[in-house]
Amino acid sequence: MRALEFDEEAEEVVVRLQRKLYSQEAIRGAAVALSSEAAVYLKENGDVLLATIEPRTETDRAGLEALAARFLVESAGEALRRALLDKNRTLTEYVVTCACLASWRDPADPLQPPQASREELTPEQRAQADRLKAEAEAAFHPRAKA
Per-domain boundaries in the chain: 4-87, 89-140
4-87 maps to CATH 3.30.300: no
Q: What is the DSSP string of 4-73?
A: EEEETTTTEEEEEEETTT--HHHHHHHHHHTTTTEEEEEEEETTEEEEEEEESS---HHHHHHHHHHHHH
Band the pLDDT of 146: cuts 50, 70, 90.
very low
pTM for this predicted structure: 0.61
**Segment 31-90, tens digit of pLDDT:** 999 999 999 999 988 888 899 999 999 988 899 999 999 999 999 999 898 888 888 888
Give the mean pLDDT of the chain.
Answer: 81
